[in-house]
Structure 1
């Protein structure tokens, strides 16, 4: 019986090829979009799930209060891990201090790699559940050992055994290989862990932390824990919350730092905090694109429903005869479901080809490697369920509608198809275009927000600046000679040193007092050490006072504030005021405009700049406007290597680093634009099919009207007005819906663009214009047809 149902469905498909092509293509595009988004959503929600102990792992985070505002950070002081082991060892299997996202060179013979990795305390192996291929992770107890990932070991040594061999680390340190571990999953926070070195190795070579007078003060490292009982996470958080508070001085205690444990399963998708409370994060993009995928698939299913019910009059006699000869309604329902399933199977096959072709593009836009699914049995099981679901969803309304025809009315000729179905089709068309217009509004607004933030005054001239990782203390002692050599080349206008990039805040301080400071206020300022020409090099804007100068030796004990710091301190005339910084006097000599050093969507952080040649991380150089960027890089590398030949040369352009801050929003905009275009295309595909069918149904009416003198324009208006009015209704509904969605989305940004009226006008005009073009193709074709061919059978 089922075989006959599908055989009949195949014959019906062959009778209406144009209808079949439109339906299969629309369903295929909708299913392809849903599958691509589904694959991406799966990769997002499974992030970090490839770590075997992920349910037991957490990191220590802290909330700090400044003027009633709670800031959440995931950096902690380095003595914290030891304190947790001593005081709360009964709660944790492992407590591990970590310095991650470090880049170092590894050399073996003539082979040299520059890779990312990290420095960890001993328990990192069992905490991450490392799968050891060679050796063990017990070697992490010794500072001169190292573990390599499988890919790193293969790149350096091929397939040979490497345990006990020595590599040169960071161009100068010989380290013994004690373990090779299986590469960690790509979709995890530790995917770049190509080497694991002991924390003691980092500590022994980091004077800034090893010799720090107050080790509980700087928040610079990650503290990871493995819980003995994950169910006790909240209890453990409550127990450890005051650990740092008990070890810090009175000034830091004013910030009331409260520690808490944040589970690994939430690190990636729930990474945003506001006033000490999690307010989502990347999960909003998962929900956003998940909803878009559902809507695009729904649009394709609506096309199927519309075209199936529109063709109902052609199927009415078939249904009437079948019922007359004894077919039951449930048999007819099964017949129509078989037809929709056949379309779904064909569309699924085509969608697989579209997915295979589109995944590389999708990967390039998202910047994320999509998981390999073709060899995964689960994908095919879910794909089959998805295909079945789509077929049932697309066919449920046509099956119930077509099977409800009464055979008496059909065979007597009194059957009037489309009165109730016509209203339902209109509702579905309105729904289609409402979704499409909302997607257009959203895409335009995302790009406007990006442009608004990119055009935001950043407080300095970010173009033409190149930054180099200093990499060695030797740069500080040889800076004067290095600077002069670069200036003499004629390629650079100005050269300076800085402890952070202009696009970053690497260091903060709470050790500042000022006249009129309120008791209990613990201000946290971005702190940057710079050399005299730093302001000239980056082009910051001095609004009060002056810049640092070689002509004033007293500037060694002077500071420059940004406007946010002046506002935070409540200073009306800051120039000349003497602050106390780390128990030392510091005179304010100038105020600069706020520099956007962190998120371009957030308010500027209060910041203080001081002259200091020590603890410098970056060489900052401005390229001469007439110089070539590639020549500048070559000259800078050659000069750098002439002073520190054994150091790796790492550079970046400041404008590129700034533009990377827009990555998430740009990806959302690009993907939203693509999906909006596909949604409009699917909607127009259905509209084209319906216009074609309606023109076919009214061919004799059109012929009579032409014979009686109707113009092509009047016939075009006759055939187009009904569809166009539906799109106008869609616009009326979509505008407030789109405004509300964008208004809520923008609340996540402190610096946000206003929603202009033209966004809605452009979206509405685009939808109306595309609709007119789509309908006009069929309307004009019908209006130009020879009426003799339509009327000769009468």
Structure 2
């Protein structure tokens, strides 16, 4: 019996080649798209999930209440990790972690750039980064020690075994001893570094960490087994007030976040963790379901539309004794069989598209063909797809009255079937329209971010690391480079202007309320900073060599002036900790973080003697290549032990929105696929409808109907569901995209034309799809139409 059903299913698929092909391609594309998304979602959810102690690892974040606002951030005090471990019994291990930065390492005759950071002595005991040489207990205990990756060990010493105990020079400044070699970090680790130095070295290099009002590094803790995170969080809530006095009107709290959750949940709202990348994971999980549903709807529509073709078959089967369950099994089996063929197509498409998808998302995804779980999941997906897509056709066909079916009185255009079919078309086009509106809004927001005047000129601005001999020879470098063709101005900065992450809390001014505590972003710069960055002054002046007291002066931005309350700020006193100075300039507000955040108060001071940072170089338009060649030549002369490297400001700025750029491109691709699959089904329905109405078209032509009128008649029925879909989709899309835009402090407005473009685009594509079949039917010879059976 089963073999007979299989044979019938195969014959039906072969007999209706065009409709089988449309169904197969639609389902194949839908499943391929869903598989790609699910691979991406699985990879995103796997990040940081490999740590053995993951359920006891927590990230500390700081929540600040001041000036009627609540804000939170991961930046914490430099000594916090050690103190938490010393004072709080439930904290078993703790480590500070500074943001990774690129430095120069040297061993023997080999020199290379590497990304590294500073971490506490407990770091390798907390996180599951296996050591191939050394022990977790001693890897980061001494200021002169350094733990390096297998890749760095093989680069400099040949093998990890040979690397242990050897000397490696850091920034041509410090001679460090390799105390451990760790395995190269997996791709699904949110932390990425080639080496780690000890936290003792960080404290030694950054004396500001002893001031508990300053924040910059992150703090990570591991709780003891059985410790209650909620109780620990309550204990550490007011922890920092053991080191700084409380003030009225402001409050700073410490809180815990499970470390494995941080990668997907790193956005704060009202001082609480409130989403992040998890929003995109959920969004695209939903998109995968939507696109698969659209493909299944195509199958349902085409199967029910062609039900009259199989009405007599159903009638005969019922007359000879077939029960309804057997008929349902037959038709569901056919749907599952078609789904399996579509699955083969889907897997083939995924294998072809995966390299391009990886390039787009920056992932290293592979199809896990060697894992039985993957094949089991794929089979389950195919069966589920087949059952969903074949459910309504099977129930509808199996419910036919055998007598009416044998007499040919079952019409697929009956009101109930037609209504259901149109409902499915409305549903799938609603999903497509939501995706198209989302695509337009995301594209516009990304364009707005890239084109918005952020307060300084990103074009023709590059950053050269201030390292090695350039630290001592900066003035000579500036003098020589400033005379080169293609170079306009040069300055320096302790941090990159793209992201100023360091904050200070001990800023004071005349009239400041004792209870007010306001964290200021701070920047340490050199002469010609404003000219090099093309920043604008609201009032006052830049730092100048003509004023010997400028080393004790400050510049602030407009946001800082609003916070301070000075009506005439120039010349007014300010205090940065124990450093007293006066304001000499007010900068017009500019963005020094991503547009997800509002512009914060900023204070800037002059220091031409910092030991690290970036040299800022403004090149002339169209002469960047010439300028880079000249800069490389000077750097090789002045700093021969360091390879010449640089970053373009506009590229560094673009990195702030990597996630959004990926989402934008994925949204474009998925919106196109959704509308393509929807129109694929519409094409099949139009072809079947035109075939059904062949005699009607012939009669109309004999009676004098024109080709355009027939095309309009056939097309109108298909455009009505699209119009209804707009009424449903636009409010949903508007609400969803408004929610998405709330994640940006600076955002576009959703305007009416965005919906109009989405609607016109959808109607245009649908009209082209339907018109092809309509014109073909309208041009048919009416004599042949009337003779057709």
Name the TM-score class by shorter chain.
over 0.9
Query: Which residue pairs with 1:36 in the alignment?
Result: 36
**Quick one: structure 1 residues 437 and 124, their matched pair in 2 at CA, closer, same or farther if it must change by over 3 Å?**
same
Query: What is the CA distance between 1:610 and its match in structure 2?
Result: 2.0
Aligned residue in 1 for 2:85: 85
- Cα shift readout 1:614-642 (whole Å, capped 9, x = no counterpart): 33512111112352x22222322332343
1:199, distance to aligned residue in structure 2 (A) = 2.8
Match of 2:131 in 1: 132
**1: distance between equivalents of 2:646 and 2:780?**
68
User: Separation in 2 of the partners of 1:108 and 1:559?
Assistant: 41
Shift of 1:198: 2.9
Write the mapping of 1:631-710 to structure 2, written as runs, cut at 5 A.
631-710=626-705
Answer yes or no: is 1:435 the counterpart of 2:431: yes
Quick check: 740-749 or 337-346, which moved more? 740-749
Distance 1:566 1:160 in 2: 54
Once the two structures are superposed, what CA deviation does each residue of 1:184-239 show, in whole Å capped at 9, x if it has no partner?
A: 3211123x2333333334444x1x32xx4834333232222222236611111111
Structure 2 CA distance, aligned partners of 1:531 and 1:196? 29
CA distance in 1: counterparts of 2:738 and 2:344, whole angstroms: 39
* Counterpart-to-counterpart distance in 1, 2:678 and 2:691: 20
Q: Please state whether the residue corresponding to 2:161 is helix, strand or coil.
A: coil
Moved more, 355-364 or 767-776: 355-364
Any residues of structure 2 matched to 1:16-95 within 5 Å, and which? 16-88=16-88, 90-95=89-94
Residues 221-263 of structure 1: CA deviation (Å, up to 9, x unaligned)? 2222222236611111111222222112567x97532112221
Q: 1:547 aligns to what?
A: 542
Partner of 1:533: 528
Task: Out of 216-225 and 595-604, give the one that drifted further.
Answer: 216-225
Q: Rate the CA distance shift 1:103–1:497 in 2: closer, same or farther, 3 A.
A: closer
Equivalent-residue separation in structure 2 for 1:50 and 1:350 (angstroms): 33
Alpha-carbon distance in 2 for matches of 1:651, 1:760: 43
Q: CA RMSD in A?
A: 2.2
**What is the aligned counterpart of 1:217 among 185, 195, 213?**
213
Distance 1:454 1:16, change over 3 A: same
- Which ranges in structure 2 are unaligned for 5 or more consecutive residues? none
Give deviations 1:329-363, integer Å, cap 9, x for gaps.
00000000110001100011100011111222221
User: How far apart are the structure 1 equivalents of 2:410 and 2:647?
Assistant: 74
Q: Comparing 455-464 with 637-646, which one deviates more in the overlay?
A: 637-646
Residue from 472, 477, 480 that aligns with 1:485:
480
Q: Which residue of 1 aligns with 2:754?
A: 759
Measured after TM superposition, the shift of residue 436 of structure 1 is 0.8
Structure 1 position 143, deviation (Å): 3.8
Deviations 1:485-512 (Å, cap 9, x if unpaired)? 0111123111111222222214322232
The number of aligned residues is 785
Match of 2:118 in 1: 119
> Does 1:595 find its partner at 2:594?
no
- 1:14 positional shift: 0.4
Q: Which moved more, 1:35-44 or 1:598-607?
A: 598-607
Query: How far did 1:551 drift?
Result: 3.1
Instruction: Rate the CA distance shift 1:168–1:372 in 2: closer, same or farther, 3 A.
Output: farther
* Structure 2 match to 1:399: 394
Counterpart of 2:188 in structure 1 is: 187
In the alignment, is the contact (CA less than 8 A) between 2:521 and 2:603 conserved in 1? yes
Question: Is the deviation greater in 106-115 or in 347-356?
Answer: 106-115
Worse-superposed segment, 404-413 or 156-165: 156-165
Question: 1:538, CA displacement in angstroms?
Answer: 0.9
Aligned counterpart, 1:494: 489
Alignment pair present for 1:367 and 2:362: yes
Segment drifting more, 775-784 vs 513-522: 513-522
Distance 1:659 1:148, change over 3 A: closer
Structure 2 CA distance, aligned partners of 1:745 and 1:163? Answer: 49
What is the deviation of 1:452? 2.1
Deviation at 1:289, TM superposition (A): 0.7
Conserved? CA contact 2:490–2:616, under 8 Å: yes
Question: How far has the Cα of 1:660 moved from its partner?
Answer: 2.1
- Listed as ranges, the matches of 1:733-752 within 5 Å are 733-752=728-747
Write the distance in 2 (CA, Å) between the matches of 1:131 and 1:487: 48
Map 1:196-215; keep pairs closer than 5 Å: 196-204=196-204, 206=205, 208-209=206-207, 212=208, 214-215=210-211
Contact residue 312 and residue 408 of structure 2 kept, 8 A = no
Residues 312, 550 of structure 1: alpha-carbon distance in 2 compared, 3 angstrom cutoff = same
Q: Does 2:222 correspond to 1:226?
A: yes
Residue of structure 1 in register with 2:288 after alignment = 293
Moved more, 268-277 or 176-185: 176-185
User: Aligned-pair distance for 1:163?
Assistant: 5.5
CA distance in 1, matches of 2:517, 2:161: 55
* SS of structure 1 residue aligned to 2:582: strand
2:234 paired with 1:259: no
Q: Do the aligned residues in 2 keep the contact of 1:135 with 1:163 (CA within 8 Å)?
A: no
1:10 maps to what in 2? 10
Measured in 2, the distance between the counterparts of 1:250 and 1:673 equals 51
C-alpha change, 1:124 and 1:335, in structure 2 (3 Å) is same
In structure 1, the residue corresponding to 2:187 is in which secondary structure? Answer: coil
Structure 1 residues 400 and 343: alpha-carbon distance in aligned structure 2, compared to 1, 3 A threshold: same
Relative to structure 1, is the Cα distance of residues 576 and 736 closer, same or farther in structure 2, using a 3 angstrom cutoff? same
Distance 2:152 2:547 in 1: 52
Encode CA deviations 1:520-552: one digit per residue, 9 max, x unaligned: 111221221222211111111112223333333
Q: 1:392 to 1:123 in 2, by over 3 A?
A: same
CA distance in 2, matches of 1:550, 1:152: 43
1:92 to partner: Cα distance: 3.0
CA–CA distance in structure 2, aligned partners of residues 136 and 53 of structure 1? 17
Query: Measured at CA, do residues 648 and 523 of structure 1 come closer, stay the same or move farther in structure 2, by a change above 3 Å?
Result: farther
Greater shift after overlay, 256-265 or 291-300?
A: 256-265
Q: Tell me, in whole angstroms, the C-alpha distance in 1 between the residues paired with 2:30 and 2:778.
A: 32
1:224 aligned counterpart, secondary structure: strand
Distance in 1, Cα, partners of 2:642 & 2:72 = 35
> 1:343 maps to what in 2?
338
Sort the Cα spacing of 1:735 and 1:76 in 2 relative to 1 into closer, same or farther, 3 A: closer
Give the structure 2 partner of residue 303 of structure 1: 298
The separation in 1 between residues aligned to 2:40 and 2:49, in whole angstroms, is: 15
2:274 counterpart residue number = 279
Q: CA deviation at 1:445?
A: 0.6
The residue aligned with 1:613 is: 608
Distance of 2:784 and 2:335 partners within structure 1: 34
1:441 CA displacement:
0.7
Are residues 4 and 194 of structure 1, via their aligned partners in 2, closer, same or farther at CA, if it must alter by over 3 Å? Answer: farther
Question: What residue is the counterpart of 2:572 in the other structure?
Answer: 577
Alignment CA distance shift 1:514-1:163 (3 Å): closer
SS of 1:161 mapped into structure 2: helix
1:309 Cα deviation from its structure 2 partner:
0.1
Residues 415/584 of structure 1: CA separation in 2 closer, same or farther (3 Å cut): closer
1:745 CA displacement: 1.7
Structure 1 residue 23, shift from structure 2 partner = 0.1
Contact 1:320–1:408, Cα closer than 8 Å, also in 2: yes
Indicate the larger mover: 757-766 or 409-418: 409-418
